[in-house]
Amino acid sequence: MTKRQRERLVRAALYVVLGAGLIGLALVADWETLRRNFFDVAIAREMFPGVLVVAARNTLLYTALAFAFGLVLGLVLALMRLSSIGPYRWIATTYIEIFRGLPALLTIFLVGFGIPIAFGTRWPVLLQITLGLGIVAAAYMAETIRAGIEGVPKGQMEAARSLGMTRTRAMASIVIPQGFRLIIPPLTNELVLLIKDTSLLFVLGTTPASKELAKFGRDLLANKANATPLIVVGAVYLLITLPLTQLVAVLERRNARAR
C-alpha cells in the first residue's frame, strides 16, 4: 500500500466512525423526551415578546453601560500607565493587576452589598451594574488600549510633534485614533465577554422589569419545570454575539488590507 492509499484509508475510517457514532446516538436517544423538555414550542412561544423587549433589552443596556464605563476608565488607566509621572504609572498598574485578577462576581457583590453595608448608602441599581461590571472590564480594556497606543509607530508621534502639535493634541488626534483602529477586534471580544458577564448581575436582585436574559431564562425554567427557556435564551445570546464575532473577523480582514 502506498503512503497515499494509507492516508485515504485512514480518512475513510474516520468518516465511518463518525457516521456510526451519530447513527448510534440517534437510535439510543429518546427524541420525544428531548423534544418535550428542551424544545417545547408552546413554552417558547409564551416567552415572546418578553424575552426580547425586556430581557434582551436589559442585557444590551447593562452591557452598554459597563462597556462605556470600562472604555473611559480603561483609556484613562492606559494613559496613566504610559505617563512619564511615576505615581500615575504605579496607581494604574496596581489597579489593573488587582482587578484583572478578581472575578467580576466579587466586584458586583462589593458594589451591591459591600458599599451599602460599609456606608449605609445604596446606589441606584444602574450605577451598581455599571460599576460592578465596569470596574473589572476597565482593567482588561486598559491593557488592550495600552497595547493599541504602543502599537502605533513612534514616527507618528514624531511627525505630529514636528508639525507643532502638543503631546496631548498629538495623542488625541493622531495616536489614539490609530490605536483604537488596531484594537477594535480585541475590544469587540471584550464586549462579547461583557455580554456574557451580565448573567452574573442577578445577584443584585431583580424585578420583573430588570431581568436580563440569563435570569429571565432561569426563572422560567423553575416556573415551567422545563429547559426550553434556556434554549431560547441561549439562542438570543447567540443572536447578539455571533454577529459581533463575525464583525471582528470582517474588521480584521479590512485592517489587514489597509496596512
Partner 1 sequence: MPAEAIEIRGLRKCFGDNEVLRSIDFHVGQGEVVCVIGPSGSGKSTLLRCVNRLEEPDAGTILIDGADITDPEADVDLLRSRIGMVFQSFNLFPHLSVLQNLTIAQRRVRKRPRAEAEAVARRNLERVGLAEKLGAFPAHLSGGQQQRVAIARALSMDPDMMLFDEPTSALDPELVGEVLAVMRSLADEGMTMMVVTHEMGFAREVADRVVFMDGGVVVEEGPPDAVLERPVNERTQRFLKMVR
Q: Taking the C-alpha atoms of 178, 179, 184 and 189 in order, what is their torsion angle to the nearest 10 degrees?
A: 170
Distance CA 75, CA 11 (A): 51
Show the cell assigned to 38: 428542551
Report in angstroms how near the CB of residue 140 gets to partner 1 at its nearest: 24
Based on CB atoms, which residue is closest to partner 1, 70 or 148?
148
By the 8 A CB rule, do 160 and 170 touch? Answer: yes
> Which stretches within 82-175 are classed as H helix?
86-100, 104-109, 115-119, 125-151, 154-162, 167-170
Report in angstroms how near the CB of residue 68 gets to partner 1 at its nearest: 23
Query: C-alpha angle with apex 38: 37 to 40, nearest 5 degrees?
Result: 75
Report in angstroms how near the CB of residue 144 gets to partner 1 at its nearest: 18
Show the cell assigned to 193: 465577554
Q: Taking the C-alpha atoms of 109, 114, 119 and 121 in order, what is their torsion angle to the nearest 10 degrees?
A: 20
Based on CB atoms, which residue is closest to partner 1, 165 or 230?
165
DSSP output for 1-61:
--HHHHHHHHHHHHHHHHHHHHHHHHHHS-HHHHHHHH--HHHHHHTTTHIIIIIIHHHHH
Report in angstroms how near the CB of residue 163 gets to partner 1 at its nearest: 4
Based on CB atoms, which residue is closest to partner 1, 89 or 181?
181
Report in angstroms how near the CB of residue 252 gets to partner 1 at its nearest: 16
Q: Which residues bind partner 1 (CB under 8 A)?
A: 153, 155-156, 158-166, 169, 173-174, 177-178, 181, 258-259
Based on CB atoms, which residue is closest to partner 1, 177 or 234?
177
Based on CB atoms, which residue is closest to partner 1, 20 or 159?
159
Report in angstroms how near the CB of residue 50 gets to partner 1 at its nearest: 43
Based on CB atoms, which residue is closest to partner 1, 61 or 165?
165
